[in-house]
Structure 1
Amino acid sequence: MARAENKETAGPTTRLVADIARKMRARKGWTQEQLGKELGYTAAAVSAMETCAQPASDEMLVKLERVLGDGMGIFEQAREYVRLDKYPAQFKNYALLEQKAVGLHLYATLVVHGLFQTEEYARALIGGGYPPLPEHRVEELVEARLARRALFEREPVALIEVVLEESVLRRTIGSEDVMRGQMRHLAECARRRNVTLQVLPLDAGLSGEYAGAYGGMNLIETPDHDRLVYLEPQDESLLIKDPGKVSTYAQRYARIRAQALHPRESLGLVEQLAGEQR
């Protein structure tokens, strides 16, 4: 839904795309209605895009490239950066790192890591958060979150390891049907050759050690083979670059992984839970 306040909060890429689209439309001598017909949208939708009342969706950018791009790839290239405009401010720096990472080592303690969420799970989670978000913002964030999954298909492939607390798998988000779909998706991800999924069981602390007590983390290896840590407590974010601190987090992650179930056992548990959801 187009909203007037979006015009004030639109990011720089969204504004640039709107300006380029408006100028290229004018160069062709088309009205907003004519462009809308070419794209399969209403004139109102084109107007909302051009005024930033409703930022261009990923689908609209694909169509803009076909209709107005003239083979230059402007709108195609803009897709990545328009998605970044839609992310919460505290997440944008990490999103860029995630897209280009050669290695990710992830530990999630409360909900399924965003990179592995289904559309239904993401919508239930984002839509059920506090403070409540307007529906159009929920849809923007869901679209942006799902776009992150392109990392799984990227060349060269990224090595991705994720450890999920067992409580994450047993916490119902949305509905039991949503959780069934989420478990099936996790199982599919776990079967990818570049993905290792492990579950930290509920009884991991029985031995007297519980390495996951400090909360979730994202360890990132950049294309230059630098290592960083990203933390996101509540609505804040922290990107850690200090080598000594990063080393401590990496060691802690290694202990968490060592206390988790073997990948084959973890996949079996996910598959079992997918069958148990009723």
Structure 2
Amino acid sequence: MARAENKETAGPMARMVATVVKRMRVKEGLTQEQLGSRMGYTGAAISALETLSQPVSDDMMMQLETVLGGGTGIFAEMRPLVRLEKLPEEFRDYAQIEQKALSLCLYASSSIHGLFQTEPYARAQIAGGYPTPTEARVEELVTARMERKAIFDKKPLRLVEVILDEAALLRKFGSEEVMREQYRYLLECAQRKNVTIQILPLDVGLSGENAGDRGMMNLVETDKHNRLIYLEIQDESVLITDPVKVSTYAQRYAKIRAQALDPRASLGLIKRLAGEGT
């Protein structure tokens, strides 16, 4: 079923890769088994690529460039477009902006922000959604989510700040061990010089104010030094570029930050959840 579904849902870039691979392979006089052997794959894997029975993996794209690209760079150029095509359609425009961003100020209210998720956590969250995705689609989305983490290591370093509602920390996915691993991963992320993690406590509203009650937001400084807001709910997304609206959201984000625990206290809370603190 997954094979038939992928043939139906494969996007234009995946179809282009399949066509180019087959034509270049035939031109080189290689069988599917021979090409697969050179790339470290089976002939069946190459067949699945060419017939769109399975989505092409990022590793396969790299191997194609090395083995079949012939120094043209064609597969290297298609690689980010293939990755982009695997993302949900409503997320693709933002994903391109995110990877070029100079800074990200993030607020996540219902679950750990995607950039800060471990692979097991992401898999449990994605697989548990509705409509229920196929196993192949789950793996595709998990891989795409993990690849977004490349922004942490881009030079010059990008500032990445995340405020997590405490409810997002307490909402569990997968298993207790998955959650412990997730908490430990947050602590690791916080050790990066360009990352700040804060927690908006559950009882913040008792003070009479809770600026984070309207849900998630991503405040982005683009590579052109412009600011925009990304919002997402129920598989729908909105990119806001109007300066007046962006200013209002930026002020709201500043209020959320002010109402959150400071970074040291936030890490103390995460340590306790991870079983590493008192």
Name the TM-score class by shorter chain: over 0.9
Q: Which residue pairs with 2:182 in the alignment?
A: 182
Query: Where in structure 1 do 4 or more consecutive aligned residues deviate above 4 Å?
Result: none
Q: Which residue pairs with 1:156 in the alignment?
A: 156
| Farther-moved stretch of structure 1 (147-156 vs 12-21) | 12-21
- How far off is 1:73 after superposition? 2.5
Q: Which residue pairs with 1:203 in the alignment?
A: 203
Residue aligned with 1:266, SS: helix
Amino acid at match of 2:23: K
Q: Which residue pairs with 2:250 in the alignment?
A: 250
**8 Å contact kept, 1:2–1:48:** no
Give a deviation string over 1:44-71, Cα, whole Å, max 9, x none.
Answer: 2111111222121011112112211222
Q: Which residue pairs with 1:57 in the alignment?
A: 57
Percent of pairs with identical residues: 63
- TM-score (norm. length: structure 2): 0.96
Q: Which residue pairs with 2:83 in the alignment?
A: 83
Where do 1:157-172 residues align within 5 Å? 157-172=157-172
**8 Å contact kept, 1:158–1:194:** yes
- How far off is 1:2 after superposition? 5.6
Q: Distance in 2 between matches of 1:96 and 1:52?
A: 25
Q: Distance in 1 between matches of 2:195 and 2:204?
A: 22
Q: Which residue pairs with 1:9 in the alignment?
A: 9
Q: Which residue pairs with 1:107 in the alignment?
A: 107
Amino acid at match of 2:65: E
- How far off is 1:205 after superposition? 0.9
| Farther-moved stretch of structure 1 (122-131 vs 42-51) | 42-51
Give a deviation string over 1:81-118, Cα, whole Å, max 9, x none.
Answer: 11111111111111111111111110000100001110
- How far off is 1:16 after superposition? 1.9
Q: Distance in 2 between matches of 1:252 and 1:194?
A: 22
- How far off is 1:38 after superposition? 1.2
Superposition CA RMSD, Å:
1.5
Amino acid at match of 2:271: E
Q: Which residue pairs with 1:71 in the alignment?
A: 71
**8 Å contact kept, 1:106–1:217:** yes
**8 Å contact kept, 2:112–2:168:** yes
Amino acid at match of 2:231: L
Q: Distance in 2 between matches of 1:177 and 1:253?
A: 32
Structure 2, unmatched stretches of 5+, are none
Q: Which residue pairs with 2:275 in the alignment?
A: 275
Structure 1, unmatched stretches of 5+, are none
Give a deviation string over 1:145-201, Cα, whole Å, max 9, x none.
Answer: 111011111122211110001111112111010001101111111111111110001
Q: How many residues align?
A: 277
**8 Å contact kept, 1:219–1:250:** yes
**8 Å contact kept, 2:103–2:222:** yes
| Farther-moved stretch of structure 1 (255-264 vs 45-54) | 45-54
**8 Å contact kept, 2:98–2:220:** yes
Q: Distance in 2 between matches of 1:48 and 1:11?
A: 15
- How far off is 1:72 after superposition? 2.7
Q: Which residue pairs with 1:22 in the alignment?
A: 22
Q: Distance in 2 between matches of 1:3 and 1:188?
A: 38
